């Protein structure tokens, strides 16, 4: 054939031997140099994606650059050495990328290559409509089977539509390409030229998971429920999510994702991912391409668990939304205080691409109980700048609009933004920004009139989502058992605290505030959550959303304020009237006591109005009173409780 096969590469088992298929289709079989000579000057050349790039053909294309002129090379994403992007070939080749990978970034920045921003689900229509006609498709396939079908293997995505739309198809036939099942096959009769050349597939290794990325992954894993269907992706973040899912106890997950890597294998082997409860394609992992190690490629080879389909199907928001509990996980470079997400550029400098982010965010929003998550580290440039900003950088593009945005996650927690006002969004996002930038962001928000001018500064220097302060318990509710979550109060809880206040009886309001309040002043409201967690703690009891309620509801609150001189803390509790007498207050007090004891607090102090007999009885029932007295000056009882 003119090429020497790499004898060190073990061929995957195929139904037809190399000699059989080359003899059967010998009219189509060419060496790479001869195939490249079939490409005319001035044509548009499509390349297969990622680790499925026909590397041997790409090298030969550069080797024959002297035969080329004004050839455009279009692709979704490439890896490794791309010689045709070298500045010395500017007259021969110009790359046009739909997603800018690391090896193309410099060329795009210097203006030697183009970037076409487009949603991944729209690309096949771009080819088939003729808006971007394809003259030549260079792809990589497995050897044909006895029926003449080659598999596109690990790169189906837009490769299938790009090839089907091309006037001429040149396929590198690689015995190392796995046969993947699904809508992933092309018949030899539709391929113009076959170039047999076996070489190892490109491999992709994600960056290491550091402590920050792992923490972000843990917050994502908290949101993934049993029987959810998940979009994973590749890189350090998906690896961190998978690591945390392994430890979360969640079961029967499904996968519907544009791409995946090795991180998926342990989830399958440990029974975390079964796909048995999916509402669409039950029992199948649905994806369009894979990037990882040789182990991954061997794992998907002829594996009926995996079904590879083109991007126009996998990334169709309507199809994505057919999966119940769809969880879409994507990343961002920058988010402004209103929720606009920039994911493809750093200012004017294009960095990556739109990819499938919008497809999956909109798909997850259609899904029953779906969640669309955007993740990013809180800072960039070694902590010098905040990724949460008052306004996007000049030239930064909006990939996910403020109308589409759902959940933003950093290492400091998560902000749920969908359906929230600008004021609520601002407080939620500042709460998950790096602490050293929080009050700077707050001042900018005040200047832009996004929040009240008297909004108090952020005292907390940590996270509002510390898992050590979170717990849950089931109680007897007004209409049956209810699960109540206990967590730290957050700045964006203001409206929920206000709702709690106006649900209280006048008597409860009087006993809590020791005055007959008719309304809750903003200053009083802010005092609920404006605590320094190093000293004070404020916990809320929350009922999660259900079919009748669209947002979580606070039904109780408890806090303690430490007196450093005595190492004793004043505490107060508040439970909505209809939930009183059900054990919620007792649980809340014990939870506060556990936290206080872990911080070295010696005792709790409570100030109670003499007419507040329910509270007095409640305190006596705890069995923890070590001292009580009546303060005649203030006309209130003072109780000291042992922790």
Decide: pTM greater than 0.85.
Answer: yes
307 catalytic residue (yes or no): no
What does the pLDDT look like over 130-178, one tens digit per residue? 999 999 999 999 999 999 999 999 999 999 999 999 999 999 999 999 9
For residues 167 and 150, give the distance between their C-alpha atoms in angstroms, rounded to a whole number: 19
User: Does residue 557 contact residue 489 with C-beta atoms inside 8 Å?
Assistant: yes
Position 522 scores a pLDDT of 67
The pLDDT, as a whole number, for residue 7 is 42
Q: With cut-offs at 50, 70 and 90, classify the pLDDT of residue 456.
A: confident
**Closest among 371, 387, 266 to 320, alpha carbons compared:** 371
Please give the pLDDT value at position 577.
Answer: 84
CATH class in words for 317-458: alpha beta
* Beta pairing partners, 571: 560
Q: Distance (Å, rounded) from C-alpha 627 to C-alpha 624?
A: 9
Q: Predicted confidence band at 512 (pLDDT cuts at 50, 70, 90)?
A: low
How is residue 114 written in tokens? 């183009």
CB atoms within 10 A of CB 513: 15
Q: What confidence tens digit (pLDDT) does each residue in 577-633 have?
A: 888 889 999 999 999 999 999 999 999 999 888 888 888 888 898 899 898 888 766
pLDDT (0 to 100) of residue 511? 56
Specify the pLDDT at position 5: 42
What's the pLDDT at 212? Answer: 95
The per-residue pLDDT for range 166-224, each reduced to its tens digit, is 999 999 999 999 999 999 999 999 999 999 999 999 999 888 999 999 999 999 999 99
A 10 A CB-CB count for 66 gives 8
Q: What share of the chain in percent tops pLDDT 90?
A: 72
Question: What is the torsional sign of CA 441, 443, 446, 451?
Answer: positive
18-196 and 317-458 share one fold: yes
Does residue 107 sit in helix, strand or coil? helix
Give dist(CA 560, CA 611) in Å, integer. 22
pLDDT the model gives residue 513: 59
pLDDT of residue 550 exceeding 60:
no
Select the highest-mean-pLDDT range: 183-197, 492-506, 515-529.
183-197
Q: Quickly tell me which residue has 């070590």 as its tokens.
A: 626
The average pLDDT across 25-47 equals 96
Catalytic residue among 258, 322, 411, 568: 258
> Rounded mean pLDDT of 345-354?
93
**Top-tier CATH class for 467-642:** alpha beta
Question: What value does the mean pLDDT take over residues 297-307?
Answer: 98
Phi, psi of 477 (to 5 degrees): -90, 180
Cα 360 to Cα 186, 228, 245, 635: the distances in Å are 27, 14, 20, 60
The ranges assigned to domains in the chain are 18-196, 203-220+228-314, 317-458, 467-642
- Calculate the dihedral angle through the C-alpha atoms of 422, 368, 217, 153, rounding to the nearest 10 degrees: -120
DSSP 368-401: TT-EEEEE--SEETTTTEESEESSPPTT---SB-
pLDDT exceeds cutoff 90 at 547: no
- pLDDT-based confidence at 1, cuts 50/70/90? very low
Instruction: Give the model's pLDDT for residue 510.
Output: 55
Q: Report the candidate in 41, 90, 98, 94 with the shortest Cα–Cα distance to residue 72.
A: 94
Convert the pLDDT of each residue in 479-488 to its tens digit. Answer: 788 899 999 9
Q: Does domain 203-220+228-314 correspond to CATH entry 3.30.750.70?
A: yes
Question: Measured in whole angstroms, how far is the alpha carbon of residue 417 from the centre of its chain?
Answer: 14
Per-chain mean pLDDT for the chain: 90
Q: Which CATH class is domain 18-196?
A: alpha beta
Listing DSSP states for 427-473 in one string gives HHHHHTS-HHHHHHHHHHHHHTTSS-TTPPPP--SS-TT-GGG-EEE
Q: How confident is the model at residue 514 (pLDDT cuts 50, 70, 90)?
A: low
């Amino acid at each position: 054939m003119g090429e020497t096969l790499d004898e060190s590469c073990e061929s995957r088992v195929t139904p037809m031997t190399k000699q059989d298929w080359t003899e059967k289709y010998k009219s189509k079989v060419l060496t790479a140099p001869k195939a490249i000579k079939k490409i005319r000057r001035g044509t548009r050349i499509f390349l297969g994606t990622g680790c499925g790039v026909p590397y041997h053909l790409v090298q030969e294309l550069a080797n024959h650059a002297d035969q080329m002129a004004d050839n455009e090379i279009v692709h979704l994403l490439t890896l490794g050495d791309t010689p045709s992007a070298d500045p010395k070939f500017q007259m021969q080749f110009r790359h046009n990328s739909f997603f800018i990978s690391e090896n193309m970034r410099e060329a795009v920045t210097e203006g030697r290559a183009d970037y076409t921003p487009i949603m991944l689900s729209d690309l096949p229509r771009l080819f088939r409509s003729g808006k971007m006609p394809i003259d030549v498709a260079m792809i990589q396939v497995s050897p044909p089977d006895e029926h003449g079908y080659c598999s596109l293997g690990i790169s189906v995505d837009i490769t299938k539509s790009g090839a089907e739309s091309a006037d001429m198809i040149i396929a590198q036939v690689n015995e190392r390409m796995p046969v993947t099942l699904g809508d992933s096959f092309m018949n030899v009769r539709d391929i113009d030229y076959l170039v047999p050349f076996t070489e190892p597939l490109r491999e992709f290794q994600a960056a290491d998971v550091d402590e920050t990325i792992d923490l972000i992954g843990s917050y994502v894993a908290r949101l993934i429920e049993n029987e959810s269907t998940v979009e994973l992706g590749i890189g350090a973040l998906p690896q961190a999510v998978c690591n945390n899912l392994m430890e979360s106890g969640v079961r029967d997950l499904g996968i519907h994702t544009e791409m995946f890597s090795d991180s998926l294998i342990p989830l399958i082997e440990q029974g975390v991912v079964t796909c048995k409860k999916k509402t669409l394609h039950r029992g199948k992992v649905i994806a369009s391409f894979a990037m990882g190690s040789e182990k991954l490629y061997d794992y998907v080879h002829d594996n009926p668990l995996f079904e590879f389909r083109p991007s126009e199907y996998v990334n169709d928001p309507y199809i994505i939304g057919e999966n119940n509990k769809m969880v879409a996980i994507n990343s961002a470079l920058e988010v402004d205080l209103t929720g606009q997400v920039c994911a493809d550029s750093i200012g004017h400098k294009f960095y990556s691409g739109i990819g499938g982010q919008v497809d999956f965010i909109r798909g997850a929003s259609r899904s029953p109980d779906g969640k669309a998550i955007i993740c990013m580290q809180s800072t960039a440039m070694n902590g010098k700048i905040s990724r949460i900003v008052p306004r996007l950088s000049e030239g930064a593009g909006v990939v996910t609009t403020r109308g589409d945005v759902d959940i933003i996650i950093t290492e400091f927690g998560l902000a749920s933004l969908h359906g929230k006002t600008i004021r609520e969004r601002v407080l939620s996002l500042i709460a998950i920004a790096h602490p050293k930038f929080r009050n700077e962001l707050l001042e900018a928000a005040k200047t832009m009139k996004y929040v009240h001018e008297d909004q108090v500064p952020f005292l907390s220097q940590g996270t509002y989502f510390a898992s050590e302060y979170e717990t849950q318990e089931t109680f007897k509710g007004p209409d049956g058992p209810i699960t109540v979550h206990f967590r730290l109060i957050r700045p964006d809880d203001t409206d929920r605290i206000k709702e709690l206040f106006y649900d209280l009886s006048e008597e409860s309001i009087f006993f809590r505030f020791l005055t007959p309040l008719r309304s809750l002043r903003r200053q009083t409201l802010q005092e609920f959550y404006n605590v320094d967690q190093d000293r004070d703690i404020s916990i809320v009891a929350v009922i999660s959303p259900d079919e009748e309620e669209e947002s979580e509801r606070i039904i109780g609150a408890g806090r303690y304020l430490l007196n450093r001189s005595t190492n004793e803390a004043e505490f107060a509790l508040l439970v909505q009237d209809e939930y009183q007498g059900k054990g919620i207050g007792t649980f809340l007090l014990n939870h506060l006591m556990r936290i206080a004891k872990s911080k070295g607090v010696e005792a709790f102090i409570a100030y109670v109005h003499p007419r507040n007999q329910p509270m007095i009885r409640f305190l006596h029932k705890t069995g923890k009173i070590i001292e009580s007295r009546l303060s005649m000056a203030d006309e209130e009882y003072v109780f000291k409780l042992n922790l």
